Amino acid sequence: MKVVTLLPAATEIVCALGLREQLAGRSHECDHPADVASLPALTRARVDSGLASGPLDDEVRRLLQTGLPLYELDEERLHAIAPDVVVTQAACEVCAVSYDQVAAVTRRAAPHATVVSLEPTRLADVIADVRRVARSCSVADRGEVVASGLEARLAALRVRTPARRPRVAVVEWLEPPMLAAHWVPDVIEAAGAEPVGPAAGGPSPYVTWDDIAALRPDALVVAPCGFDLDRTRREAAPFEIQLAGLAPHVRLMDGNAYWNRPGPRLVEAAESLAHWLDTLDQAF
């Protein structure tokens, strides 16, 4: 069996299922586990992801207004691989190649492939996707083991009894500011905290710094979408004063690895957040 994954979360799910050797192609953004970099990349971005937050946001909006896709799928390379399963997404055209484009190209280039589209909006959906990808790849038993393991780790977090549930918000973009929604409030709750801001399962909204301050968070996580920790530090530096004024405790995190991707490492994000909040417990 040959599997192609067209978003980083899908690559992480497939590898967690023990199917690394069956992985034959990936998106240009797939970087975990590290050795997937040796696989052919089937997508490319029309936007320079190295731009600073503000200009990058402007460029994404401009392209969306023109109706042009943000990403392109390499039809010739997909045809050459001839995959049995293509794992893609239909949740966000900004995050990865669109489902419509994948469906159309796959019909022409790999007509016998099964297309699995991930559309998670909640943390439970992400774990359900592990099982669904496993079934599509004929390893349902492995999927149950991996998914049950993730659920057990979340259950272990829930037995904790913090003195008080701190109010936590996650900043998903800096210029303009955006608060994280989708599965992020579920991750915050799993860590034993109270999420403040947008509701779980909904889109991540643009806000103002005053909007965030009005939520009165006890702790703020800054994890811009697609940025690793080094880049988050660089991008957050000009906003140091604003961020410090929003909450008594501010933590910069690798959003690209732990918060933005709907994959297994969301559980690590919950565990890391819980540990950090435990170290601050006396302050609450």
Q: Are residues 177 and 244 in the same domain?
A: yes
Look up the pTM and report it: 0.91
Q: How many CB atoms lie within 10 A of CB 244?
A: 11
Q: Which helix (H) or strand (E) holds 206?
A: none
Each residue's pLDDT, cut to its tens digit, for the chain (284 residues) gives 999 999 999 999 999 999 999 999 999 999 999 999 999 999 987 766 677 777 766 766 676 667 666 788 999 999 999 999 999 987 666 566 778 888 888 999 999 999 999 999 999 999 999 999 999 999 999 999 999 999 999 999 988 766 678 999 999 999 999 999 999 999 999 999 999 999 999 999 999 999 999 999 999 999 999 999 999 999 999 999 999 999 999 999 999 999 999 999 999 999 999 999 988 876 65
Distance CA 95, CA 82 (A): 24
* Residues composing the chain: 284
pLDDT in the model for residue 44? 86
Any domain includes 103: yes
Any domain includes 179: yes
Any domain includes 143: no
The token pair at 139 is 């390893």
Q: Are residues 168 and 277 in the same domain?
A: yes
List of residues 6+ apart from 191 with CB closer than 8 A: 157, 168, 270, 271, 273, 274, 277
The per-residue b/e assignment along 138-159, b for 16 or more CB within 10 angstroms, e otherwise, is ebeebbeebbeebeeebeebee
Q: What's CA 131's distance to the chain center, in Å? A: 18
Any domain includes 133: no
Any domain includes 26: yes
Q: Are residues 96 and 170 in the same domain?
A: no
pLDDT in the model for residue 14? 98
State the CATH number of the domain containing residue 80: 3.40.50.1980
How many domains, the chain?
2
Q: Where does a domain end: 92, 119, 146?
A: 119
Residue 215's Cβ-count burial label (10 Å; 0-12, 13-18, 19+) is: middle
Any domain includes 90: yes
- Residues 95-125 have pLDDT tens digits of 667 788 888 889 999 999 999 999 999 999 9
pLDDT in the model for residue 162? 64
Q: Are residues 101 and 8 in the same domain?
A: yes
pLDDT in the model for residue 55? 77
Any domain includes 223: yes
Any domain includes 154: no
Residue 20 structural domain: 3-119
- Residues 162-172 have pLDDT tens digits of 667 899 999 99
